[in-house]
A and B are shown apart, each in its own frame.
Chain A
Amino acid sequence: MVKKKKDELEITTVSEPTLIETTDYESNLRANLEEIKKYNGVVGYILRNTTSASIDLKDPAKIIDYAILSSTTFDATEEVSDLFELGTLKNIIVNGKNVKMLSLTVEQNKISIFMENNADTEKVLEKLKAS
């Protein structure tokens, strides 16, 4: 287990995600994230709550970059959501040239899933909502 500190975000990288709390909801969410990780084209995920972040990415070299992107996306989104009165956020999709990121907030958890552009976003979203 490696601990790094960057941009006030405490990142914990793990070979297998660690269980921080043992509520049914979180256990279910983590189980679903593990299943999502096996979906075609999914390259990993970041699960963040108020105190820590669990990151599971196929390419460890991307951990810091993806974590910062996820974090700044949530911050930017909160601001523009207020500005344009979008209401409670359902989800955010950032399509990049190489990879796309699906982010959403469920209770205290901020989740970002990274996947290849041809991956099925709807399938991932449905699985997350089922948590």
Chain B
Amino acid sequence: MDNEVYAFALKNTLDEIQKICPDIKNAFVLTKNRELIASDGDTPEKTITRAVNAFEEMLEKAQAIGGVEDVTIEGINGRLNVSRLDEIYLVTVTSKQADLDYVNTVTHVIVPTILRLMEKLSPAPLKKNPPTPDIEPEEPTVERDEEPETEKHEKQLEPKEESETILPETPVNQLIVEDLKGLLAPSDTIRIDSTIIEEWNELYEDRTIEEADIETFGGKSTRCKVKPIKESKLDGQGKIQIPSKVQLTLDVKKGELVRVKPAVE
């Protein structure tokens, strides 16, 4: 895979991130050597170049504290964050109203996942000495708690071996946790977008999806009954309403990302 494909994939990733986090005003990705790989469509390259030049010396001098892992510059109108993610620096500029937990959850999950995925598809051109890709077939049953979170996500994106009864590949949706409150709310039922349930039912024509598996990026998972979101303002927003008891089980809270898939066996 050449740098252009890398840049294209990352640019699309940044654009998608901006769509789900409109509070991110600017976003761009640099190599460890401070070369621009990709940026969102709105940030002029001249601005990025000047920013990179400004950071150059600071990143160099930060060797005194072991090298930069993360930089946050907070102003009264917004915040700039530089995060080191493996071999790259991700730079985001957010407005002052931004929900930083949400922004960080999204950026720190999606970008590394895309990078790992691209590395897996082909050795990374961004690295001087890329590691030899693991070509051994993966076991179908996996020790979930011992895996890095991004690897787990990749495994879900890989084609699965056909089982005896041929079922379509299980769709996985990444949704943002919302609280599910109310006296009458059952503690074993989650609520998700009605369109997702419709898609699942269309995919598995001969079955009615009544349960779903929820999985966190920390490796915890549980199965719950699933129903469509009732509140129209939350429907279609990529949210998942989870009762507090289930949130405790999964060790997640509002604003975090989880993966959801239909329970079909």
- Residues in chain A within 8 A of chain B (CB atoms): 62, 65-66, 68-69, 72-73, 75-77, 79-81, 83-101, 114
Determine which of B47, B51, B72, B75 lies in contact with A93 in the assembled complex, contact meaning CB atoms within 8 Å: B72
Complexed CA–CA distance, A88 and B73 (Å): 11
Do B76 and A69 touch (CB < 8 A)? no
Complexed CA–CA distance, A66 and B64 (Å): 7
- Say whether, besides A65-B61, A76-B58, A83-B51, A96 and B80 are in contact (CB < 8 Å): no
Do B75 and A89 touch (CB < 8 A)? yes
Do B61 and A69 touch (CB < 8 A)? yes
- Residues in chain B within 8 A of chain A (CB atoms): 25-26, 47, 50-51, 54-55, 57-58, 61-62, 64-80, 93
Q: What residues on B are CB-neighbors of A90 within 8 Å?
A: 74-76
Determine which of A89, A100, A114 lies in contact with B73 in the assembled complex, contact meaning CB atoms within 8 Å: A89
Q: What would be 22 A-B contacts, judged by CB atoms less than 8 Å apart?
A: A66-B64, A75-B54, A75-B57, A76-B57, A80-B73, A81-B75, A83-B50, A83-B51, A84-B80, A85-B78, A86-B73, A87-B75, A88-B75, A89-B74, A93-B70, A93-B72, A96-B62, A96-B65, A96-B68, A96-B69, A97-B69, A100-B65
- Say whether, besides A80-B80, A84-B51, A92 and B74 are in contact (CB < 8 Å): yes
Do B66 and A92 touch (CB < 8 A)? no
Complexed CA–CA distance, A94 and B154 (Å): 31
Inter-chain contact total with CB atoms closer than 8 Å: 107
Q: What residues on A are CB-neighbors of B55 within 8 Å?
A: 76, 80
Determine which of B54, B61, B64, B70 lies in contact with A95 in the assembled complex, contact meaning CB atoms within 8 Å: B70
What distance in Å separates the Cβ of B129 from its nearest Cβ neighbour in chain A? 20
Do A84 and B93 touch (CB < 8 A)? yes
- Say whether, besides A76-B55, A76-B58, A79-B51, A65 and B64 are in contact (CB < 8 Å): yes
Complexed CA–CA distance, A84 and B52 (Å): 12
Complexed CA–CA distance, A96 and B54 (Å): 18
Do B51 and A101 touch (CB < 8 A)? no
What distance in Å separates the Cβ of B77 from its nearest Cβ neighbour in chain A? 3
What distance in Å separates the Cβ of A84 from its nearest Cβ neighbour in chain B? 5
Q: What residues on A are CB-neighbors of B67 within 8 Å?
A: 96-97
Complexed CA–CA distance, A85 and B76 (Å): 9
Do B73 and A69 touch (CB < 8 A)? no
Give the nearest-CB partner of A101 in chain B: B65
Complexed CA–CA distance, A95 and B68 (Å): 6
Do B25 and A95 touch (CB < 8 A)? no
Do A86 and B75 touch (CB < 8 A)? yes
What distance in Å separates the Cβ of B57 from its nearest Cβ neighbour in chain A? 5
Do B77 and A95 touch (CB < 8 A)? no
Q: What residues on A are CB-neighbors of B61 within 8 Å?
A: 65, 68-69, 72-73
Do B74 and A91 touch (CB < 8 A)? yes
Most buried by B among A76, A85, A114: A76
